[in-house]
Chains A and B, each alone.
Chain A
Amino acid sequence: MKTIKFLLNGDAIEIGTRDEETLLEVLRNRLSMTGTKQGCDQGECGSCTVLLDGRPVLSCLTLAVRVENRQVTTIEGLAVGGILHPVQVAFQEAGAIQCGFCTPGMVLTAKALLERNPHPCREKIKEALAGNLCRCTGYKKIVEAVERAAKRMEETDAPG
């Protein structure tokens, strides 16, 4: 057992964890942050994706002790003050959500992509999302949503 401290969606967390406990288990079972989904527990489906210092990681393969002193962002932390992030808005508008189980992981992966590359081409978007499985949409509207979000973020950032 080790007590770790980390920032979760900007809030300071201090919690005791077992050595073998995964970040996914801590988030879902200990902190009731169930927006992060458990789809396979083997690092294959991407449903459990969270951002660790802004980079997407699979929380089912990440030991909780590894997030000590780092920043974790989950889907619950994306909308600020009730205002949806442009990626969230784009997923909604583009019809990129069906069952919604892959959506948290997809949205976070897309957000991380657009922060490192604000104008990705279609191939780059597909590469970035390749680790996140979706069985409902055939991905077309998801890719369109990311393109839509990129455009929206560019408009918002534009001076004047």
Chain B
Amino acid sequence: MPQDNPYRCVGRGMPRTDSVAKVTGTAQFTADIPAHRCLVGKILRSPHAHARILSIDTRKAETLPGVKAVVTGVDAPVKYGILPVSQDEYPLAVEKVRFIGDEVAAVAAVDEATALRALELIDVRYEVLPAILDPHEALVREDVKIHERAAEANIERRVHLVFGDLEQGFAAADYIREDRFFKDASSHAFLEPHSALAQYHDAKLTLWTSTQVPHYVHRSLSKVLGIPMEKIRVIKPALGGGFGGKGEPLPLEFAASLLAVKTGQPIRITHSREEVFLTHRGRHPMEMTLKTGVKKDGTITAVQFSSLLDGGAYGSYGVVTMIYSGQLLTAPYRIPAYAFDSARVFTNKPPCGAQRGHGGVQPRFAFEVHLDRIAADLGIDPLEIRRRNAIDPDTVTVNELRITSCAFKACLDRVAETVDWKNKRGKLPYGKGVGLAGGFYVSGAAYPIYANPMPHSQVQIRADRDGGVTVFSGASDIGQGSDTLLMMITAETLGLFETSVRVVSADTETTPVDLGSYSSRVTFMAGNACRQAALEIRDRLLAVCAIKLEQNQEDLILREGCLFAKGTPEPLMTFAEASVLAEASGVALCALGGYRPPELAGSYKMGGVGPSPAYSFGAQAAEVEVDTETGDIRVLKIHCAHDLGFALNPLTATGQGEGAVAMGFGETVLEHHGFRPGGRHNGPNFLDYKIPTCLDVPDVEVTLIESIDPAGPYGAKEIGEGSLHPSLPAIVNALYDAIGCWFHDLPLTPEQVLAALDRKEAR
């Protein structure tokens, strides 16, 4: 819970800087940007799950009046991919298609109807190949290769890591339990469909795109199009939700760019809702096993984990997802010996990638339910087994993750209190129950996606002549509120009013590099870079003023838009006047701050995935009710306590927690990104893929727990992703309390609940 706040700006709930634009309709998302003579682009997609392309004839489409250009794989046969180890995508298919929806060709036309008509006129001849839809089949089918680069069958990558003495750990155990779990795919389902607007003028390409990662898009466009980076400008306009689904370069961005270069006219491609689902990059279906040894009192002695990731048709972020799945199980509980085996396979389905809570959500669900089962077997209270094993601050995990600030126990105690654990667990009438779970997550990956020694975030601040400052940052505000945080950090550090700080962000031409909005890195890294730049401006300003006023620099402070001598109520001059002094003295009030994490990699291969400069911790308690006649699950309330270091903006921080819990709730009981035999999507729309409405969501109570991280900006860490992890297992564990049934497969359906009740009765 936020303690007494010593600050004037940070730590206070503040509406977003863009909220007036968003509430009046003037905020421009990519699809809203006007462009003179703009063409409409549409993408032709594969009707087959797996096929060889024999020929593509675009002549008829090209001669249709109103069609300005058609592009296919031959126009840019250059591979790319978000990870350097997984460069396996083309903007448009070359030789093969690998899922129903794979991009084959794109057209630019004067209007949508003409573009759609042109797609029908493109004649593609395919040789249909056998499709692999089952990840187990993908593990062994050598005769069908989705990608030639898979050395063994269709396995993209395996990982096997052992930490500590596993044998001894299990030998020291009084009790060992093994379980299997499965978590099916979910999709981001952001409200704004992907959109890209490209323009090519004077040998320069400008792309406005709904991306979380303008810098990576910039690099990839240059590689694929063969245009130098200085001749490409990527701008992220207002963005309508990402959650990982806009976190990597995507085919529509290349297709729009290719068509713009070819036609010389602006062109926009906006996905239909169906295309959003087919583009996917969502949560990997993951099959998991867990084996854990414990002492009689519940103390963990060893854990063994395995995961099989159904990756879909391309690499995307999958290798990281796979490594994370094992690496992120070693907290928030002490585990002295640990091993994991994981594999990611290709299948002929839309590619999976990163989704909010990336890599850790499925294993966290598995582990927390597994831990509750162990507690039940040993007759230990689930809260107690967690408290006994809970990790402390300033420790190192068995796989060498450096834990600094950590208020996990406080999170557990808080939700136990708010849910009234003592009086409710095991004591509610049949059909009602409470359950809890813990979790933790990275505040930014310690290593960039492509190896380089430069800062992960840079922020530039420039004083303006009106007494305000402008902050330039490459960070992408995707709805999480990063522009507002940068404004607040700057205002706090420079003693300015919020209205005196403007933020310009996510434009590769005008803002310094930030790696993007993924892995919960922005508050921590861009926040630190911003604070550093602001401190530099402050020091330059104070140094000049100290000389002019013949005072010690240490005795001067900036607050409320003015310069003060410490301990005096009357200002010496305004910030604007101080800026004039500095500029007139030839001191440039323009500074660049940067943040690069310390060296944190583990001393083993793949030890660079998992480390973070800081980790958030959290616990949640769910209250559920089951209709034992219909199998219907009602989640009444979820209590969420999250250690976010310091709440820079409690209003947006609680909003992140509430949204994450709602998403976790959705993928526990509603959302199923499934496929029919043959590989066709179950229903790429909001009727079949059900995200929670406001009638579905449980009441969510978020408590912000502050541990003041020593390296975070004002002590802040992440909240947006880690607060999703405990939601799934907290609900599942509450169901056991309600009806005495365990569930190992998500998402849950009423049918599963009824079947479990039947099995229980039969026993």
Residues of B at the A interface (CB closer than 8 Å) are 13, 15-16, 18-29, 31-32, 34, 188-193, 238-241, 243, 270, 272-273, 478-481, 651-652, 654-655, 658-663, 685-687, 691-695, 697, 699-700
Contacts and interface: CB of A to CB of B under 8 A. Distances in A.
B23 A92 contact: yes
A132 B481 CA distance: 22
Task: Determine the main DSSP class of B at the interface with A.
Answer: loop
Nearest to B241: A99
A75 B188 CA distance: 26
A93 B191 contact: no
Interface stretch (A29-37, A63-71, A152-160): A29-37
A36 B24 CA distance: 10
A34 B272 CA distance: 17
Kindly state the interface size class of chain A when it binds its partner: 35 or more
A78 B20 CA distance: 12
A78 B24 contact: yes
Contacts of B658: 137-138, 140-141
Contacts of B22: 97, 100, 103
A40 B694 contact: no
Contacts of A37: 29, 191-192, 240
Interface string A122-146: 0000110111111111111111000
Given A42-B685, A100-B21, A138-B697, 10 more contacts: A39-B273, A40-B685, A78-B24, A92-B16, A97-B19, A127-B695, A129-B693, A135-B190, A135-B243, A137-B655
Interface of A: 28, 32-42, 44-45, 47, 74-76, 78-79, 84, 88, 91-93, 95, 97-104, 107, 126-127, 129-143
A134 B191 contact: yes
A51 B516 CA distance: 37
A99 to B, nearest CB: 3
A121 to B, nearest CB: 14
B193 A39 contact: yes
A142 B695 CA distance: 12
Nearest to B31: A38
25 contacts: A34-B28, A35-B25, A35-B26, A38-B270, A39-B191, A39-B192, A39-B193, A44-B685, A78-B24, A92-B15, A92-B20, A97-B16, A97-B19, A97-B22, A100-B19, A100-B21, A101-B29, A103-B23, A126-B695, A130-B693, A134-B694, A135-B659, A138-B692, A138-B697, A139-B694
A92 B19 contact: yes
A58 B686 CA distance: 15
A42 B274 CA distance: 10
A99 B686 contact: no
Nearest to B240: A101
A101 B22 CA distance: 8
Contact of A99 (B34, B190, B273, B663): B190
Given A34-B28, A133-B693, A45 B13 contact: no
Contacts of B694: 126, 129-130, 132, 134, 139, 142-143
A82 to B, nearest CB: 9
Q: Which 4 A-B pairs have the closest CB atoms?
A: A35-B25, A99-B479, A101-B240, A100-B22
Contacts of B240: 37, 99-101
Contacts of B193: 38-40
Contact of B662 (A35, A91, A138): A138
Contacts of B663: 135, 138
Nearest to A141: B655
Contacts of A101: 29, 190-192, 240-241, 479
B31 A34 contact: yes
- Residue picked from B188, B272, B479, B654, most chain A C-beta under 10 Å: B479
Contact of A41 (B23, B273, B652, B659): B273
Contacts of A143: 694
Contact of A100 (B27, B272, B687, B699): B27
Contacts of A33: 25
B32 A79 contact: no
B368 to A, nearest CB: 21
A28 B22 CA distance: 16
B24 A88 contact: yes
